[in-house]
Amino acid sequence: MSKYATQNDDSTEPTIPPTNDHQPNHFLDVDDIGEDGLAEVLSTAAELKQAHYEGESHAVLPNKSLGMLFEKPSTRTRVSFEAGMTQLGGHAVFLGPQNTHLDRGEPVSDTARVLSRYVDAVMARVFDHEAIETMAEYATVPVVNGLSDDAHPCQTLADLFTIYEQFGGFEDVTAAWVGDGNNVAQSFAVGCAMTGVELTMATPEGYEPDEEVLARAAEYSDGEGDAPEVTHDPEEAVTDADVVYTDVWVSMGQEDEREAKLGDFDGYQVNAELLESADDPIVMHCLPAHRGEEITGGVLESESAVVWSQAENRMHTQKALLAHLLDAK
């Protein structure tokens, strides 16, 4: 018997590798963990952040590994997951576009099954949302959507946690989204509905969030949540808002649409004049920001902006998410 093996008197049978019969919990969008799961993750994030600030060890995932698969590059996503996994006592493995066989024709399904034999969870940042769904279908470990063209649920966790910190909860908080009804906006809409944040979204015509996403958000309006309202008037959206949130108008991979979008989004910039209609709001942006386009440098650097806390909270909420998905106690 190997000196590294543990004696088991009941059986000498070898460990059987996992199969596709195992159904792990995945996080492809924010409502995948449900309202109770979301509340638990946000509560755990607060505990982990406090421990981090006090210098207390919180290595609740010792010897666990996270595979990080990137089709799209990112500063915040890579560093927040990698540093966070280290703080949890685990290890993160970075896999960029040149570090896998996906670009050489290997199916996502094959990559998912192989990674499942190596790591305890997979985070993937992809273009096509279908790719993350395929990854989840074939993986036998939890799959986390680090971003897709349809959703950015990890950002929403940080957004909601930031709002919770700023207002001490979600009761009576009103928010305005100004700009493109993109992946960040769509996950944020569902997250606001789940937590009871009243959200109004102002987008140009043709840039509204997907109707299916709005319908999912509306399902929570019968409980504590509120279905988001959509308008084409930025001033109407921000009137008396406690939170004003925007994102870039030209997302990664849309560079050829830049000139057209700059014209379409004329009047949707978050600037000092627009904020006069709001109720002394906090200003949020998921970063990176294009100063002078969707937001002015003056607003981004003002005391109203909480973007740096928002960025930091990616790490704390993602640590809590991983602990939740991997059943850490």
Q: Which CATH architecture has domain 155-311?
A: 3-Layer(aba) Sandwich (3.40)
Long-range contact list for 93-98, CB < 8 A, 24+ apart?
93/65, 93/66, 93/67, 93/68, 93/118, 93/119, 94/68, 94/70, 95/67, 95/68, 95/69, 95/70, 96/70, 97/70, 97/71
Ordered by start, the domain boundaries in the chain are: 30-151, 155-311
Architecture of the domain whose range is 30-151: 3-Layer(aba) Sandwich (3.40)
Q: Is 30-151's fold the same as 155-311's? A: yes
Beta bridge partners of 198: 174
The series of mean pLDDT values per 10 residues for the chain, 329 residues long, is 51 52 88 98 98 97 97 94 98 85 76 96 96 96 97 98 98 97 98 96 97 94 72 98 96 78 96 95 97 98 98 98 90
**For position 255, what pLDDT does the model report?**
75
Query: Are 317 and 157 spatial neighbours (Cβ–Cβ below 8 Å)?
Result: yes
| pLDDT value of position 175 | 97
pTM of this structure: 0.92
Q: What is the pLDDT of residue 329?
A: 55
Active site residues: 125, 152, 155, 247, 286, 314
